Amino acid sequence: MKLLILGATGPTGRHVVDLALEAGDTVTVMARRPEAMADLADRVKVVAGDATSHTDVAQAMAGQDVVISALGRSTSVRADDLFRRAAAAVIGAAEDGGVSRLVWLSSFGVGDTYRSASAVQW
């Protein structure tokens, strides 16, 4: 399968990348800091981009079968704002590109983010 993984530079995302590679999947990662994936540059396609940008996500998503988001908390953006904006970008890009499979993992709503979490609102 051809997978696009968002959040691959974080601990959970990196684990997802490792598992996908072990399974023989073709992996593309989109990262704000592509240099963080330098050790896997010969095994994955690394695309620089912002997960909240419809344009960036759509470009990275082209030709993919599945999108996996393992986005974590950002130090520069409130977590709920990051996830809301990223979800809109990913869903819009998936609709435009015909990608119908999405896995979204998150610990948002656990620990100190509990007070910020609410039911999904669109």
| Paired residues of 59 in beta bridges | none
Express each pLDDT in 22-70 by its tens digit: 999 999 999 999 999 999 989 999 999 999 999 999 999 999 999 999 9
pLDDT at 106: 72
Produce one character per residue of 27-60: b if its CB has 16 or more CB atoms within 10 Å, e if not.
bbbbbeebeebeebeeebebbebebbbbebbbeb
pTM for the structure as a whole: 0.85
CATH level 3 topology of 2-116:
Rossmann fold (3.40.50)
Distance between start and end Cα atoms, the chain: 30
Q: 57 and 51 in contact (C-beta within 8 Å)? A: yes
Q: Where are the domains of the chain?
A: 2-116
Express each pLDDT in 67-83 by its tens digit: 999 997 655 556 667 88
